[in-house]
Structure 1
Amino acid sequence: MNIAIIGAGNGGQTMAAHLTLKGHKVKLYDINESLISELNNVGGIHCDGVIKGFAPIEATTDLRGTLKDAEVIMCTTNANSHSKVAESIAPYVQDGQVILIFPGYWGALEFSEVLDRVGNNKRVYVAETESLIYACRYNKPGYVTVRGVKEKLEFATYPSEDVGQVKSKLEKIYPQLLPRESVIRTSLNNVNPIFHTPITLMNIGWIESEKDFYFYPEGASPSVVRVMEKLETERLALGKAIGVELSSALELLHRFYGVNESTLYEAINKNKAYQTGKAPTTLKYRYIYEDIPYGLVPISELGTALEVPTPCTDLLIDLAEMVVGEDLRGMGVKLERFGLKDMTKGEIIELLNY
């Protein structure tokens, strides 16, 4: 298939290499001219880890050319770029194209809102996944290490009625993608905020010392995991209030990586895909600036609107704001963005399950 990938970060480079090695025709786009130049100097992407090989890649800053013949548009940028990406691609999208956001972070709702607002009249299909399909990191441009590929990953579309049409295209690319009924399930099943935020905030001293440590094996101590479990309780309660059955974090690790442990602590620390991932050496990182505004803030917002208490979620948001000295709530996903602010509980639940 002809595939366009927007964003040449960890996920984008890994995806471009993997799908090229699988025989698809891939174009990799990024606005970062220096990064694209370095990728083109390498001539492609070298993979090691669970995926091995060298994939010749067409990397470009030409957005129109990237999207021209694409059947599927993969968005692998950070969540804070979703709105800008949607605005950028709106003039170039074509009837029948699938836009798939890895992972969602409410991205399907955001893309749909932007495309409607700018007057897009093309029949495109907007979908999102609950997580990035790879556990990966690029070491330098054109060199990626892939620690794992998720075995089963859910996706949903907005509106939900498009899910069958999208599945027929995606199964040719990622047969492990499982269709589900609602993008609320995929966005709330994104456990990056549940995992990343407590580990980051409770290991601040180690991170700011700029010393190397393994994020999960050394950062997810029993006490840290207890905080994760409190966040998890609030996430699952919110899903119940909306009427969407969510997977627990333990169930997700089993589905993603085949991890069969009885506790979340054991599942995290015995997951092979988590063993070698290094922690960031700065708080200026997506674990703060993506997972909180686009992960925890919407949980807090919906909790308030639906009268579901979220004290642990709110505590971590407040702590992070004090630590970085910035208004992370103000950066985040707000109910008014999707027309939900003045709705009743019933109206909010109905729209979210559309």
Structure 2
Amino acid sequence: MIHGIRIILKITIIGSGNAGLSHAAMIAKQGHLVTIVKTTRLMYEDSFDVLSQTKQIEYEKDSDKGVVSIEKATRDIPDAVSQADVILILTQSIAHENLSELISPHLRSGQILLVSPGYAGSFYFSTKCKGKGVVFAEGESLPFDSRITAPGKVSICFENIRNPIGVFPSEKTEETLKRLQEIIPRFTARQNVLESAFHNPNLIVHTVGAIMSVARIEHSKGEFWMYRESFTPTIMKLVGDLDSEKKAILEYFELPTQSFAESFQFRTYDDLSADPMEALRHYAQYGSPKGPVDAQTRYITEDVPMGLCFLSSIGRKANIPTPVCDALIAIASSMHQKDYYAEGRTLGQLGIDHYSVGELKNILKKGFPPNA
């Protein structure tokens, strides 16, 4: 909103699952022009068909129920991306590399592309858009916890109190945050996309919880609640050590060293003076989902290669040991009989491993140098 005048933005959402529909509904409700793009035929085809035909989303959020209209639901990536003011990438992080190939050619100057959750996935896009004048942002978690309950219908179970994002280049943070707050007012700023990547809670909680509970997951055959059962005093020592490795890297890059519990509290609780662990215990008891149901859970197949491997890669570049992180990667690789580090998100895979640490710090602030 500028001088009391609400700006109507063209928003393109990549992803038509739970996150895509909840974001589309809440953004369209504010009067913005929303286009939803489906890039695969793996899931939610019936819901996408309804969206294509009706151009409407039925939503439920606490006592608020209603129907909102969208501009269209389409598979036409070039048209949907090129006409947007803001593009939201709301898919699993394992899709970022492929999506960057499909989307980057159609990005143009003045656009903002937000990847959420990010895990540094914005670098797949930014390395392909050097000199284009596109600004990138990353969320560390989704603003809405939601589920598609019927084709074209979404239920929003929870909304974060604060939604931190990092911006690339970070010198564009103030203006980018103002624009993104036009669509999701609860956005707040981290210092850069690296800080945002490491405050994704799944990096710590999903990986330790699922890997260290795999026998219980398989034995229970679906009757398992990770957040309630897994984090015993002994396992919390492991969580603490992994979190310390993350914080050591954040400190090296001169970034705030919040613990995973503190960053969780910042997103989800009004009272920041309370014990952060109490916020987690409350979520585990009253808000956490059931599962995982098997050893192939995305808590491992996504958060190990996309999260832990990136943490390990940064540690290697900065000469900071990450023994717990590396051990978890090795255990997950053995369990699933694959080399997660070779397949995972590393500085090399992102195309930025040839830069020194000093150069990376400068790039995070100012973007890629000319002819980089």
TM-score by length of 1: 0.88
Alignment of 1:289-308 (within 5 A): 289-308=301-320
CA distance in 2, matches of 1:153, 1:218: 27
Alignment-derived partner of residue 252 in structure 2? 241
| Identical positions, percent | 29
Amino acid at match of 1:63: I
Q: Is the alpha carbon distance of 1:156 and 1:226 closer, same or farther for their aligned partners in structure 2, counting shifts above 3 Å?
A: same
Q: Is the alpha carbon distance of 1:348 and 1:166 closer, same or farther for their aligned partners in structure 2, counting shifts above 3 Å?
A: closer
Amino acid at match of 1:174: I
Q: Is the alpha carbon distance of 1:70 and 1:342 closer, same or farther for their aligned partners in structure 2, counting shifts above 3 Å?
A: closer
CA distance in 2, matches of 1:273, 1:101: 30
Q: Is the alpha carbon distance of 1:140 and 1:228 closer, same or farther for their aligned partners in structure 2, counting shifts above 3 Å?
A: farther
1:8 equivalent to 2:16? Answer yes
Deviation sequence 1:295-354 (CA, Å, 0-9, x none): 111111221222222111111111111111111111212223455545555444444554
CA distance in 2, matches of 1:40, 1:20: 19
Alignment-derived partner of residue 226 in structure 1? 237
SS in 1 for 2:12: strand
Alignment-derived partner of residue 210 in structure 2? 200
- The offset of 1:233, in angstroms, is 1.0
Which of 29, 53, 60 aligns to 2:66? It is: 53
Alignment-derived partner of residue 125 in structure 1? 135
CA distance in 2, matches of 1:203, 1:85: 32
**Uncovered stretches (5+) of structure 2, i.e. residues with no partner:** 1-8, 367-372
Alignment-derived partner of residue 67 in structure 1? 81
1:288 equivalent to 2:288? Answer no
1:160 equivalent to 2:170? Answer yes
Alignment-derived partner of residue 319 in structure 1? 331
User: Is the CA contact (8 Å cut-off) linking 1:259 and 1:267 kept in structure 2?
Assistant: no
Give aligned pairs, total: 349
**Uncovered stretches (5+) of structure 1, i.e. residues with no partner:** none
CA distance in 2, matches of 1:152, 1:251: 13
- The offset of 1:141, in angstroms, is 4.3
User: Is the CA contact (8 Å cut-off) linking 2:304 and 2:329 kept in structure 1?
Assistant: yes
Alignment-derived partner of residue 135 in structure 1? 145
Amino acid at match of 1:188: F
- The offset of 1:273, in angstroms, is 9.5
Moved more, 321-330 or 29-38: 29-38
1:175 equivalent to 2:185? Answer yes
Moved more, 60-69 or 230-239: 60-69
- The offset of 1:204, in angstroms, is 1.6
Amino acid at match of 2:145: A
Amino acid at match of 1:53: G
Deviation sequence 1:172-208 (CA, Å, 0-9, x none): 1112212233211111122211011111112223433
Which of 311, 336, 339 aligns to 2:348? It is: 336
- CA RMSD after TM alignment: 2.6
- The offset of 1:74, in angstroms, is 0.3
User: Is the CA contact (8 Å cut-off) linking 2:228 and 2:284 kept in structure 1?
Assistant: no
SS in 1 for 2:23: helix
User: Is the CA contact (8 Å cut-off) linking 1:82 and 1:110 kept in structure 2?
Assistant: yes
1:35 equivalent to 2:44? Answer yes
User: Is the CA contact (8 Å cut-off) linking 2:225 and 2:290 kept in structure 1?
Assistant: yes
CA distance in 2, matches of 1:70, 1:54: 23
1:89 equivalent to 2:98? Answer no
CA distance in 1, matches of 2:363, 2:194: 10
TM-score by length of 2: 0.84
